[in-house]
Structure 1
Amino acid sequence: MKIAFIGDSLTEGRPGVSFFNILKKKYPDIKFVNLGKAGETVKSLHTRLSKNKLDQDYDLTFLWIGVNDIYSRLLKVQAQPITRNSEEFREFYEHVLELVMQSSKKVVVVSPALIGENINSSNRGLLNLSLIIKEISQEHKNTTFIDLHEAFTEQLETLRTTDYLSTSVGRLVKDVFFYRSPKRVDRLAEERGLHLTLDGIHLNSKGANIVVDKYSQVIEGFQSNN
């Protein structure tokens, strides 16, 4: 079985705790391919997949993209082009999904999770993107939707959250280089008052394991049906 993971830094696994590495240990007999790239937006991903065609033999592909189309607006530097509005996001997402579907028997589209753990802030924009992604997934037969935004916000509803959100590129780079081990990541997240992330975006151990649980359900369901 061969599974691809396409997305941004959350899929790549830096900064923060890598859900991908946890899955690799959990399923040693499955071939996992990590196609995550830091800073990726739905527009830049479309360019990447158009220029570099995917392998044609994936059994399952997880497509997790979209958070940077909102988060990049909060950063002082925008490394990749972002969509201007919901209509343009829908258009480019549909193009990306078409490219991914050509290479995989089944595609799992995943909603963006969080922008900050205060669920009353920028996360309203993510809810809109989640609804768009869900609608697109329903139009395709071999596509499944995972609502990580809902999964993460449910975890946070009963917790005291902070407004911490890293919007400094320098801070992000420092987190990449100096906080590599899960223990260090989790310690820094706790210092910042965060429950599921390192910085409001990238995952700590608890956040990574939410993703692992959701992805595992799909993987094991696919295995049992094939």
Structure 2
Amino acid sequence: MKIACIGDSLTEGKPGVSFFNMLKRKYPDIKFVNLGKGGETVKSLHTRLSKNKLDQDYDLAFLWIGVNDIYSKLLKVQAQPITRNSEEFREIYEQVLELVSQSSKEVVAVSPAVIGENINSSNRGLLNLSMIIKEISKEHKNITFIDLHQAFTEQLETLHTSDYLSTGLGRLVKDVFFYRNPKRVDRLAAERGLHLTIDGVHLNSRGANIVVEKYSRIIEGLQPNN
């Protein structure tokens, strides 16, 4: 089986804990391809996939994109273009989904998870994007939807959460270079009062495990002996 994981820094695996590496260790006989790129928005991903065609032999592709269409508005530097509104996000997302669908037998559309571990206006924006992705997924037979936004918020509703959210580029760069070991990531997350992320967006071990659990259900459902 050959599986593509397509998305932004959350898929790329830095900063924070890489769910992708966890999947590779869990399923050593499956070929995983990491197509995550830091800072990616739905617009920039569309440009990348249009210029660099995907392999045509994927059995499964996970498409996890959208958080930077909200998160980058909070950053001091916007490296990639973002969609202007919900209508444009829907239009570009559908085009991205079509490109991915041409390259994989099965596609999983994954909603953005969280921006900050408190329920705030940014997370309400992510909820809107999640609803759009869910609606689009229902319109296609070979598309499965994973609602990571709901999975993360349900966990956080039972916890005392911190307001910490990293919005400085310098801080993000430091986290990338100095916090690569999962134990160090988890220690920093705890110091910041965070439960599922290292900085309000990128994953710590607990957050990465949620992603692995959701992805694993899909993977195991497609394996020949299931």
The TM-score, its normalising length taken from structure 1, stands at 0.99
In the TM superposition, what are the counterparts of 1:98-109 in structure 2 within 5 Å? Answer: 98-109=98-109
For 1:116, the equivalent position in structure 2 comes to 116
Indicate the SS of the match to 1:74.
coil
For 2:31, the equivalent position in structure 1 comes to 31
For 2:163, the equivalent position in structure 1 comes to 163
Superimposed CA distance per residue, residues 28-65 of structure 1 (whole angstroms, 9 cap, x where no aligned partner): 00000000000000000000000000000000000000
Structure 1: distance between partners of 2:224 and 2:151: 24
Structure 2: distance between partners of 1:225 and 1:59: 15
- Residue 225 of structure 1 and its aligned partner are, at CA, apart by 7.6
Q: Are residue 45 (structure 1) and residue 45 (structure 2) matched?
A: yes
For 1:127, the equivalent position in structure 2 comes to 127
Indicate the SS of the match to 1:197.
coil
Structure 1: distance between partners of 2:128 and 2:67: 11
Aligned amino acid, residue 183 of structure 1: K
- Residue 111 of structure 1 and its aligned partner are, at CA, apart by 0.1
- Cα distance change on mapping 1:121 and 1:225 into 2, 3 Å: farther
**Root-mean-square deviation (Å):** 0.9
Structure 1: distance between partners of 2:89 and 2:34: 23
Structure 1: distance between partners of 2:189 and 2:24: 24
- Residue 120 of structure 1 and its aligned partner are, at CA, apart by 3.3
Aligned amino acid, residue 180 of structure 2: R
Structure 2: distance between partners of 1:205 and 1:119: 21
For 2:212, the equivalent position in structure 1 comes to 212
Aligned amino acid, residue 160 of structure 1: H
For 1:199, the equivalent position in structure 2 comes to 199
Aligned amino acid, residue 205 of structure 2: S
Aligned amino acid, residue 122 of structure 2: S
**Tell me, which stretches of 5 or more residues in structure 2 are unaligned?**
none
For 1:181, the equivalent position in structure 2 comes to 181
Structure 1: distance between partners of 2:19 and 2:73: 26
Indicate the SS of the match to 1:161.
coil
For 2:139, the equivalent position in structure 1 comes to 139
For 2:70, the equivalent position in structure 1 comes to 70
Indicate the SS of the match to 2:214.
helix
- Cα distance change on mapping 1:73 and 1:193 into 2, 3 Å: same
For 1:91, the equivalent position in structure 2 comes to 91
Aligned amino acid, residue 59 of structure 1: D
Structure 2: distance between partners of 1:171 and 1:121: 22
For 1:149, the equivalent position in structure 2 comes to 149
Superimposed CA distance per residue, residues 86-145 of structure 1 (whole angstroms, 9 cap, x where no aligned partner): 000000000000000000000000000000000234100000000000000011110000
Structure 2: distance between partners of 1:180 and 1:52: 28
Structure 2: distance between partners of 1:89 and 1:120: 20
**Tell me, which stretches of 5 or more residues in structure 1 are unaligned?**
none
The TM-score, its normalising length taken from structure 2, stands at 0.99
Identity %: 86
For 1:79, the equivalent position in structure 2 comes to 79
Structure 2: distance between partners of 1:123 and 1:63: 19
Structure 2: distance between partners of 1:7 and 1:164: 24
Aligned amino acid, residue 151 of structure 2: A
